[in-house]
């Protein structure tokens, strides 16, 4: 994610709250309250989707984020943000809030990982 695009997104998303951008896997992720709700790859924004908001992305004609693994395409539950949302802070914030809610639902559905007990030395 280029620094310019990162700064542009953070400026548009300021009304959502303290959104943080972190570099990861050659791109980046956007986080709110410790929950990743967006992926940025090649300066394209992809927002988290689940069963409750996926149809909004599909109805807008947006495609899922995919990558190749062992020659096979793998689709993640992140969809490209509509282009018009990138020109309108209110619209991008609305899409991002729904993506953050989807990310929170996914995090809550995962089983809690138990911490390993340390053995006394």
Domain-located, residue 22: yes
Domain-located, residue 114: no
- Dist. CA 3–CA 52, nearest whole Å: 32
Domain with 91 in it: what CATH number?
3.30.1460.30
Confidence grade of residue 3 (pLDDT, cut at 50, 70, 90) = confident
Read off the pLDDT of each residue in 50-58 and give the average, rounded to a whole number. 91
Domain-located, residue 118: no
Q: pTM here?
A: 0.84
The confidence score (pLDDT) of residue 36 equals: 92
* Residue indicated by tokens 């990162």: 6
> How many domains, in total, are found in the chain?
1
The confidence score (pLDDT) of residue 113 equals: 65
Which secondary-structure segment (H or E) carries 102?
helix 89-109
Read off the pLDDT of each residue in 11-35 and give the average, rounded to a whole number. 90
Contact call for residues 77 and 106 (beta carbons, < 8 A): yes
Domain-located, residue 15: yes
Domain-located, residue 121: no
Domain containing residue 17: 3-109
Residue 105 in 3-state DSSP?
A: helix
Residues 106, 50, 5, 42, CA torsion sign: positive
Residue 77 has pLDDT above 70, yes or no: yes
Domain-located, residue 115: no
């Amino acid at each position: 994610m280029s620094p310019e695009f990162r700064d542009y997104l953070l400026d548009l998303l300021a009304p959502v709250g303290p959104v943080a951008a972190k570099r990861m896997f050659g791109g980046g992720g956007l986080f709110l309250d410790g929950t990743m709700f967006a992926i940025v790859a090649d300066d394209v924004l992809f927002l988290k989707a689940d069963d409750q908001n996926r149809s909004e992305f599909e109805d807008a004609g947006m495609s899922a984020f995919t990558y190749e693994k062992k020659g096979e395409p793998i689709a993640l539950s992140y969809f490209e943000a509509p282009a018009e949302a990138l020109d309108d802070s209110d619209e991008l914030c609305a899409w991002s809030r729904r993506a953050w809610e989807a990310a929170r639902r996914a995090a809550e559905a995962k089983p809690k990982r138990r911490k390993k007990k340390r053995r006394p030395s």
